[in-house]
Structure 1
């Protein structure tokens, strides 16, 4: 017998004891000799009825939401029925009770043991019924069976029953309260938007610092690749205080520094090798705090000042930057990492620290990259055709790209008209890491790429170019094909070389596929694609700089893609 079946037995056992007590009470009433026990016996009967009602209520509360409303009566009216034996039912209860499950069953077992002893002391038969049916013969059977009709003889059982019932009630109400809190917290997190504005600001600051970080004559050969992350858990906590040092990112940026394959040997040393190839690092972008003067800071509340000082003291004690090394040139600093000693934090940039809004702390990987000369870069355009790039990989990437759009929009890392050609993967040791996509930037100061603006006539059709690009990528990821491969003649001429015509054709193809997706990809994924392609968010605003619009995109696109992925995998 499974543990939860005992709960059904208790629901059936206590009413049997009650029915027997009522039968005995009626027998006492017709036997004048035992009338002195009538009041106490009735009192015990009332107490047991109360405990039985509490038990039923507790178990009913637990069943609500676990069993269907139309099946509730079947569970309560047939406590020993087959429904209590269903493994699926027990699994649902176990999930609901969580860590309370075993304690709950132990309490139920104790109540069942009390019911068993009650039956024994009342001399009931195996079916839990009195061994006689004629109340007028109560005196005769009372002497024969020798059961007690004094309340005091059942006091220990009533005490055990009350204690168990109280524990059962408390565990049930706590379980329901915790469930409500968890649902509320889940709803809050679903409605809350991660700190994308903070991440976006840090991404701007990081790029700005990198542009001034290459002091070497070979800067045109260098690139920095920024790994794309979902960062959906980077949400402000209710415990975050207003006077915390800053709105910081929970996790650092992860980057790859590359000495480009375009490197050429100098005329004076034609055979000179590259000083380095690849380096991998975590980068923390920290907002620099100005130190207030006593006159400017004022006295302030003593408690708040002490709390702030205490937090700062703890942070200072845990600060991993004890090996901080201020640097002026990234290339020269990376060259030093070729030496065995790599446990260092590079602070960029020492000579321009006063000009920077943020401090840039670079933490190289503890171990040097393995065989970096063999590393190669593959764009999403090429990866889409890779048979090893599974649908699981593609749908996971869909979530990452959608979240990354909110993090990096309108930064140099992600153009408005980005595409599969700007998303990269690193192939190491003959294996492409599909769950680590990157965007990349070269730092040739003489060549600054400027994004092509959307023709004015198209802005009424493609209301947000960045989201349209995301929608196209989502379509390509679902089908595992380029948009051009999904083109039909009815969509218009393609690859004409005319920006206006080609964009209109791409829009027509994507818009057609939006409706076709619903029969293949399901509601959540298709809704996300539709909103991106048609900018269908029921908002006048169309800029991701608008907080309300950004939240609508997060809930209507990013969350939908994440829920779809979690459901499938």
Structure 2
């Protein structure tokens, strides 16, 4: 049995021992020569009941923060022998919650169970923890007075010279000590869980900065490839997929892959004239050295990147652990457009783009379920505008909310996501012209590349009133979260007083509508989503010294106040099995 299965068994056995001790106390009170033991067992009964209360509280404290239904929570505590304690996902959550305390908790729980079993045998209780003179009938305990009298007058009692009250007392004391130890472990784990989680996430901020730098570097490489007039005479478009990423374990090398869907800008030609239609590729970047690659060593302190690393010179200074150059036999790509002409029927290495100190390895990614000739691009604005109001599911909302928050964290200060982005910048690639686009579909941000506009982000908008925001990019995230909550574009919720004299939105309309709607967001959403939205709209992260994501402290507060709450909501509905 796992430590948590045993915890359930112990939780179920303790009240049965309490009942047995009560039966002993009552039985001893009826026998004159045994009356001296009555007070002892009454005291043991009180002590054991107190211990059971403490143990029950530790189980509640362990289970309370988990995303489980009220029915499951009740069953775990009131029917501890049920199979719920064997649930693999529950055990994973509990193990993660205890952290490094898990193994000591498991050992202590097994030891507690062993001692409870020893007490059961010492008291001559059955496997179901009933004294010999008690039987269970239809959930009721029936006492056989004659059998009880016979028990206390038995040879067992005479041989022992009476009941081993001292042995029982000593064993109960040891059981209470184990219960207190387990309770302390759970309390400490509960108190340390939040700061431990926050500390780890803060340490992971350098991981997000690494991703940001990779994304910017790949954009510059695309721009270098396609900024000169291409032989195809068309403008190219790179769609970067927004993924929910998890920082890798400290002891493993960082491998950051980006998924791109490459095509031609829709405004520069028809499908009949372009040399290829859609190409789905993955790109993984490596710092190149003739002798080694250096990767991040395990972090030992909370530290954030404070400067923008050189994109074309050497590896960042914090990359200080050496590994071998990965094997990559594909050739260097000198003409990216020409390389993409031949479609790949299976995933394969296409080659690498050389960027002085960096190599960007390209792999084809074959989409077997999509007919590429029918793919089209729709924006998040188009999707929510075409949906019936309120038709966005909780899962869709939580999935996209986290992706958008991570996009801001990973793509700020890059051409992929401008400071004044909005729902028109977030796009979906779909082959369903008639069916509503699901927000579960992969979402993208895009840039166009041509000699005239190397790396221009799609759907640039005027900043207008957003310039009044402390951080326009984070305010834009707040607007997007409001739009997902209401299932419609923000300006469609504008009141006449928030428009100009002609009834048209002006520079202040968006700020006014967002400030009004965010006050009601708590009535529409659960706390995590509501607070994250409010913090974005008001740009209030509890850090008044700077409002730029380039600032270490502000970036950490953004992770803590926005990303982590949305991540908790996401994991609640997309729990890994």
Aligned residue for 1:210? 222
Please state how far the C-alpha of 1:366 moved relative to its aligned partner.
4.8
Alpha-carbon spacing, 1:547–1:289, altered in 2? closer, same or farther (3 Å): farther
Alpha-carbon spacing, 1:55–1:346, altered in 2? closer, same or farther (3 Å): farther
- DSSP-derived class of the 1:64 partner: helix
The answer as to 2:261 corresponding to 1:234 is: no
Aligned residue for 1:303? none
Aligned residue for 1:399? 402
1:16-415 → structure 2 map (5 Å cutoff): 16-17=23-24, 27=33, 58-66=51-59, 87=75, 89-90=77-78, 111-112=119-120, 114-117=122-125, 146-151=155-160, 173=181, 177=185, 180-181=188-189, 184-191=192-199, 192-193=201-202, 194=204, 195-214=207-226, 216-218=230-232, 220-231=234-245, 233-234=246-247, 237=249, 239-240=250-251, 248=254, 251-262=256-267, 264=269, 274-289=274-289, 291=291, 319=326, 321-336=327-342, 338=343, 340=345, 342-349=347-354, 353=355, 355-356=356-357, 358-366=358-366, 370-387=370-387, 390-392=392-394, 393-415=396-418
509, 525, 529: which is aligned to 2:529? Answer: 525
Could you list the per-position Cα deviations for residues 144-182 of structure 1 after superposition, in whole angstroms to 9, with x for gaps in the alignment?
A: 755533338989x99999899978975884586367447
- DSSP-derived class of the 1:511 partner: helix
1:226–1:254 CA contact under 8 A, matched in 2: yes
Aligned residue for 1:297? none
Could you list the per-position Cα deviations for residues 315-370 of structure 1 after superposition, in whole angstroms to 9, with x for gaps in the alignment?
A: 77xx5x4443321221122224x255752252112xxx4x24x3212221156674
Aligned residue for 1:478? 485
Give the Cα separation in 2 of the matches to 1:410 and 1:197.
Answer: 11
Please state how far the C-alpha of 1:428 moved relative to its aligned partner.
2.3
The more displaced of 387-396 and 374-383 is 387-396
The more displaced of 338-347 and 91-100 is 91-100
Please state how far the C-alpha of 1:284 moved relative to its aligned partner.
1.6
Alpha-carbon spacing, 1:143–1:425, altered in 2? closer, same or farther (3 Å): closer
2:499–2:509 CA contact under 8 A, matched in 1: yes
Give the Cα separation in 2 of the matches to 1:363 and 1:506.
Answer: 42
Please state how far the C-alpha of 1:546 moved relative to its aligned partner.
0.7
451, 473, 476: which is aligned to 1:469? Answer: 476
514, 518, 538: which is aligned to 1:514? Answer: 518
2:380–2:423 CA contact under 8 A, matched in 1: yes
2:348–2:364 CA contact under 8 A, matched in 1: yes
Alpha-carbon spacing, 1:125–1:417, altered in 2? closer, same or farther (3 Å): closer
Calculate the aligned-residue CA RMSD, in Å. Answer: 4.9
The more displaced of 167-176 and 401-410 is 167-176
Please state how far the C-alpha of 1:503 moved relative to its aligned partner.
2.3
2:12–2:79 CA contact under 8 A, matched in 1: no
Alpha-carbon spacing, 1:366–1:161, altered in 2? closer, same or farther (3 Å): farther
Alpha-carbon spacing, 1:175–1:255, altered in 2? closer, same or farther (3 Å): farther
- DSSP-derived class of the 2:481 partner: helix
The more displaced of 529-538 and 256-265 is 256-265
Give the Cα separation in 1 of the matches to 2:126 and 2:370.
Answer: 74
- DSSP-derived class of the 1:421 partner: coil
Give the Cα separation in 1 of the matches to 2:189 and 2:350.
Answer: 42
Q: Runs of 5+ in structure 1 lacking a partner?
A: 30-40, 69-85, 266-270, 293-310
Alpha-carbon spacing, 1:328–1:22, altered in 2? closer, same or farther (3 Å): farther
1:220–1:443 CA contact under 8 A, matched in 2: no
Give the Cα separation in 2 of the matches to 1:58 and 1:96.
Answer: 21
Please state how far the C-alpha of 1:371 moved relative to its aligned partner.
1.7
Aligned residue for 2:439? 434
Could you list the per-position Cα deviations for residues 391-430 of structure 1 after superposition, in whole angstroms to 9, with x for gaps in the alignment?
A: 3323431221122111111100000111111110011255
The more displaced of 529-538 and 413-422 is 529-538
Please state how far the C-alpha of 1:288 moved relative to its aligned partner.
3.0
Q: Runs of 5+ in structure 2 lacking a partner?
A: 1-7, 62-73, 92-105, 136-141, 293-320
2:119–2:171 CA contact under 8 A, matched in 1: no
Give the Cα separation in 2 of the matches to 1:525 and 1:121.
Answer: 51
- DSSP-derived class of the 2:378 partner: strand
Give the Cα separation in 2 of the matches to 1:490 and 1:143.
Answer: 88
Could you list the per-position Cα deviations for residues 215-242 of structure 1 after superposition, in whole angstroms to 9, with x for gaps in the alignment?
A: 73236431110111232x326x5x54xx
1:225–1:441 CA contact under 8 A, matched in 2: yes
TM-score when normalising by structure 2 = 0.68
Give the Cα separation in 2 of the matches to 1:17 and 1:261.
Answer: 85
Task: Decide which structure has the larger Cα Rg and report it.
Answer: 1
Give the Cα separation in 2 of the matches to 1:255 and 1:171.
Answer: 55
- Judging by fraction of residues, say which structure has more helix: 1
1:123–1:145 CA contact under 8 A, matched in 2: no
The answer as to 2:508 corresponding to 1:504 is: yes
Could you list the per-position Cα deviations for residues 2-60 of structure 1 after superposition, in whole angstroms to 9, with x for gaps in the alignment?
A: 96554312112135446767987x7389xxxxxxxxxxx99xx98x8998788556533
Aligned residue for 2:425? 422
Aligned residue for 1:78? none
Aligned residue for 2:549? 544
